[in-house]
Chain A
């Protein structure tokens, strides 16, 4: 299955236009994915101009994703503010 980092998505529906199984569609203001339809071909990952799609081969359910993906935010991102960094985070004194 794939995950889309929604805060970086520019909502161009490019992923949806190349998906051979219609496993991604634009719904409301977000891209919606159907993991059960996904065949792990990676077309969407390669075409995404914003580079926000990642693929997890063989994973069929959100429960099996790495913990960093499940929380909606990824480890080690936004280190400039120190807010998202999980290891070695500098606590304000």
Chain B
């Protein structure tokens, strides 16, 4: 096996494979290592991706990579009032991650990148000046060997242990994660709409989601705030984990209570701010490893692909200059901050306001907010909606003032 490359990518998820594809097509020699035996599994998410995301990179998703296309989203408040939002912007794929991740990796291979599965990065190697210059890898736990490259890219997702070794602060606090449990269930007759159920009794600081899939299947999951889980679990095993709450929800749902489960999965989703600084000398962090995840809906696939795209651009420029210093790679961070970073800022503020609302407040808001308000809220244009909410319930000023321009 070759032991010198232009770039080593750790993790072959959407971010890593996108980076590898673009960097390789620009002429870099790229190695991607992934510790999993099979790419895309175990699935750890709801598998949704905006319809426009693949097209942004001139990709066309083959049919095997997705289960269905959803038309929009139905948001349901604690009292059962539903707001439906369906337009061009809300259409999306419900992916089959197992095929999607593999497909993205294959595209990278087609462009000349090397991919190695079941290969775990165990250590970051450094040169005499302390700059990362390689990775120690081990295939299936066998004898480790060293691979060198002037650029190390961490696309490790939530775990991000190598990014920590490179000096990035990627440890998640409990406040900034949601802990999630999910079933794939059948039969569930849906309207091809994502359904989100809010309420402190249903899922405190989070929501229950139903993502429709083909053949009367659906991903039914719950996410609750990580800091709200019960500490009783310490030592004993009886805690407030997401699973019992999800089981409660399913028991109350007419259709789901008799449905079968086809898959159990779960995960921990980052809902906090991105890490402070994505680049250092000779290394970059992309995708979920850099906590680039939407704090409202927890989606990270689209952002990861975008981040891989921007990082590859910066890497190619650095490759041309033969200069992999922090300053040279900084273009990636700047591009990200100007685009996705801004949206994420709005949503973080929104999340922090939403988690302080009681069921009563939520009911009030669900009565006032209409379908046309939802796109504005998601784009960060809060004042018109906030003004209408406050007109009926002025006591919410303390919570919602964070959304007004003077405070942002």
Contact = CB atoms under 8 A, between A and B. Distances in A.
A and B interact: yes
Interface residues of A, number: 30
Contacts of A45: 233-234, 239
Interface stretch (B58-66, B176-184, B301-309): B176-184
A17 B243 CA distance: 20
Contact of A49 (B141, B236, B266): B266
Interface in A1-52: 10-14, 16-20, 22, 25-29, 42-43, 45-51
B243 A18 contact: no
Given A12-B265, A18-B174, A55-B234, A25 B161 contact: yes
A55 B237 CA distance: 10
B102 interface: no
Nearest to A10: B266
Contacts of A53: 233
A26 B35 contact: yes
B267 interface: yes
Candidate in A17, A18, A47, A49 with the most chain B CB atoms within 10 angstroms: A49
Given A12-B265, A12-B268, A49-B268, A42 B234 contact: yes
A28 B268 contact: no
B159 A49 contact: no
Contacts, number: 111
A83 B225 CA distance: 37
Given A12-B42, A54-B235, A54-B237, A46 B177 contact: no
B171 A18 contact: yes
Contacts of B267: 10, 12-14, 49
Interface string B266-287: 1110100000000000000000
Nearest to B268: A14
Contacts of A20: 171
Contacts of B80: none
Given A14-B268, A45-B234, A28 B141 contact: yes
Nearest to A56: B235
Contacts of A18: 171-174, 177, 226, 268
Contacts of B158: 13-14, 16-17
Interface in B150-204: 157-161, 164, 170-174, 177, 179-181
A30 to B, nearest CB: 10
A28 B337 CA distance: 35
A12 B266 contact: yes
B160 A17 contact: yes
B264 interface: yes
A21 to B, nearest CB: 9
Nearest to B171: A20
A46 B226 contact: yes
Nearest to B44: A12
Candidate in A26, A47, A54 with the most chain B CB atoms within 10 angstroms: A47
B317 interface: no
Contact of A48 (B35, B173, B179, B264): B179
B402 interface: no
B37 interface: yes
Given A28-B120, A46-B227, A46-B231, 4 more contacts: A12-B266, A13-B267, A17-B171, A18-B268
> What are the 10 tightest A-B residue pairs by CB atom distance, in nearest-first order?
A14-B268, A49-B266, A17-B158, A12-B267, A51-B241, A13-B159, A49-B181, A16-B159, A46-B229, A49-B179
